Amino acid sequence: MTLTIPTFSLESIGPWITLSVFAIAILLTDALSPKGNRTAAPVLALVGLAVAGFQTVSLWGKTGMDFARMVYVDNFSFFFYIVFILGTGLTVLLSLQYLKDYGKNLAEYYALLLFATVGMMLMASGSHLIMIFLGIEVMSIAVYVLAGLFREDARSNEAALKYLLLGAFASAFLLFGMAMLYGASGGTLFLNDLPARLAGAETFKPLTLLAVALLIVGFGFKVASVPFHMWTPDVYEGAPTSVTAFMAVGVKAAAFAAFARVFFLAFPVLQPDWQMVLWVLAVATMTLGNIVAIAQTNIKRMLAYSSIAHAGYLLVAIIAANQLGAVSLMYYLLAYTLMNLGAFGVVILVGRKKDSYLSIYDYSGLGFQHPVLAASMALFMFALAGIPPTAGFVGKFYVFSAAVQAGYIWLAIIGVMNSVVSVYYYLRITVLMYMKPAEADLGPVSFAPAVTATLALTALGVLLIGVFPGFIYDLAMNSVKVFPGLL
């Protein structure tokens, strides 16, 4: 028997290889260096991310597929690569001091972060459902472990266990959906081949619909959409804050990248069907997330419900299923990465040693004691609420314009009404910071340089892409050309 290995170019998966190699290098350096010396790991992680970012930028503009059509080499993937690299890099900066305070500055932490990023990249660029599934698993397993990093803490254990059990369950749904799809399409799982196969097999429509429903369950879990959101508040609250930040931005962005790619490419035939289902999910997700967030007094839980609500807005972008919808999804995820990481950075700084100050009332009077910190928190809250001139406003503007353009007027109206509701709990933090006296003296906040730098970068980013969204818009517009079906 002769085996002809298909031609491939390692360059097209360069960023994955770089990150994997650096993750292994981190593990090896840690194993070979003297005990207690852990300064190398975060530095190596940042260098690896920088190299991967550089490779991604030099790949920009390429189109095609590689590795026997297993992976898309296109701008849509590259855009998300950059979002993931940015999210992971900022997470590394946020983690350093926070983990040291807990005595948990493990090299494995950084290695797992990099591996999770590789998983996300697989999800964004997989062109076969098996690749997307492998990406989800690589990312999820790393994140399950990261959520349970604080083994002494019962809540961290709870977070890891809940996420693992429910995540495994969701993966089973996803796999079952893929199996149905394999049957319905007559034996292919290539996203490019699916539409033609499915269009030609009208008798298999029930099976395809079942597959789509199961896929929605699987993806819905990963993006934390109602009714698959139950794990979110507990996991976000229990996991280490830096990991929560990583989950909120990275995992969500990756899941939405795969969600959008699969639904835009593979199921244009069934568009009316899945749009109807997602319409209900989006409305439920936005409404429940925003209303329950009002009742939260723990800042991490509040941000968890806010993250559910944002998943709802992002679903609107998928439902719109037009070019502007895809563009808004990409822009929104970038903006969300910046503003959410910034907000979690403030949570880490205010929480101080071992997360002692996580109640929203601990923010009372922050504006008088630490004006700059309070100002940046206010900025992130305005951005999350979607108030101009921040990136959050532009993102929501694009999302709802896309919905209107696609004829979903009511969906846009419900979305805007939800944004108004969300202003209440975001502004409450600001009101507490500036208009309430401090309940107790907050004392000195130790401004770790890395965290301060993260705050500065994210604050700058939120303002910059909010005031000048044109550059990102053009990049995203350039990327969504890969979806021929979108108008």
Distance CA 477, CA 210 (A): 32
What DSSP character marks residue 293? H
Asked whether position 209 contacts other proteins by CB under 8 A, the answer is yes
Binding segment (CB under 8 A) for other proteins, from list 41-49, 127-135, 320-328, 444-452? 127-135
Binding segment (CB under 8 A) for other proteins, from list 55-63, 107-115, 229-237, 417-425? 107-115
Question: Shortest approach of other proteins to residue 423 CB, angstroms?
Answer: 35
Question: Shortest approach of other proteins to residue 296 CB, angstroms?
Answer: 23
Question: Shortest approach of other proteins to residue 208 CB, angstroms?
Answer: 9
Of positions 83, 118, 224, 387, contacts other proteins by CB under 8 A? 118
Enumerate residues 253-282 that contact other proteins by CB under 8 A.
Answer: none
Asked whether position 79 contacts other proteins by CB under 8 A, the answer is no
Asked whether position 5 contacts other proteins by CB under 8 A, the answer is yes
- Whether residue 389 has a cis bond before it, omega within 30° of 0: yes
Question: Shortest approach of other proteins to residue 77 CB, angstroms?
Answer: 14
DSSP result, 134-173: HHHHHHHHHHHHHHT--TT-HHHHHHHHHHHHHHHHHHHH
Asked whether position 310 contacts other proteins by CB under 8 A, the answer is no
Give 104 or 436: the residue with its C-beta nearer to other proteins. Answer: 104
Give 101 or 108: the residue with its C-beta nearer to other proteins. Answer: 108
Note the Cα 389 to chain centre separation in Å. 23
Nearest to 275 by CA among 407, 123, 416, 395: 407
Asked whether position 394 contacts other proteins by CB under 8 A, the answer is no
DSSP result, 302-319: HHHHHHHHHHHHHHHHHH
Enumerate residues 33-72 that contact other proteins by CB under 8 A.
Answer: 67-68, 70-71
Of positions 84, 115, 259, 263, contacts other proteins by CB under 8 A? 115
Distance CA 140, CA 291 (A): 28
Question: Shortest approach of other proteins to residue 68 CB, angstroms?
Answer: 5
Contacts of 232 (CB under 8 A, 6+ apart): 224, 304, 305, 307, 308
- Whether residue 272 has a cis bond before it, omega within 30° of 0: no
Question: Shortest approach of other proteins to residue 36 CB, angstroms?
Answer: 13
Asked whether position 7 contacts other proteins by CB under 8 A, the answer is no
Asked whether position 354 contacts other proteins by CB under 8 A, the answer is no
Of positions 85, 138, 366, 403, contacts other proteins by CB under 8 A? 138
With beta carbons less than 8 A apart as the criterion, state whether 341 and 273 touch: no
Of positions 52, 85, 142, 472, contacts other proteins by CB under 8 A? 142
Distance CA 240, CA 351 (A): 11
Asked whether position 103 contacts other proteins by CB under 8 A, the answer is yes
Question: Judged by CB under 8 A, how many residues of this single chain contact other proteins?
Answer: 48
Structure tokens given for 370? 């630490």
Binding segment (CB under 8 A) for other proteins, from list 53-61, 149-157, 251-259, 270-278? 149-157
Distance CA 34, CA 45 (A): 19
Give 140 or 307: the residue with its C-beta nearer to other proteins. Answer: 140
Nearest to 346 by CA among 413, 429, 287, 266: 429
Long-range Cβ pairs for the range 158-164 (8 Å, 24+): 158/234, 158/238, 159/234, 159/235, 159/236, 159/237, 159/238, 159/239, 160/238, 160/239, 162/231, 162/234, 162/235, 162/238, 163/231, 163/235, 163/239
Asked whether position 207 contacts other proteins by CB under 8 A, the answer is yes
Of positions 74, 137, 355, 362, contacts other proteins by CB under 8 A? 137
Give 116 or 476: the residue with its C-beta nearer to other proteins. Answer: 116
CA-based R_g, the chain, Å? 22
Asked whether position 134 contacts other proteins by CB under 8 A, the answer is yes
Q: What residue type is assigned to position 407 of the chain?
A: G
Contacts of 39 (CB under 8 A, 6+ apart): none
Asked whether position 360 contacts other proteins by CB under 8 A, the answer is no
Note the Cα 356 to chain centre separation in Å. 26
Structure tokens given for 323? 């070019």
Q: Under the rule (CB under 8 A), what is the footprint of other proteins? A: 1, 3-6, 8, 13, 20, 24, 27, 67-68, 70-71, 103-104, 106, 108-109, 111-112, 115, 118-119, 122, 128, 130-131, 134-135, 137-138, 141-142, 144-145, 148-149, 151-152, 160, 184, 203-204, 206-207, 209-210
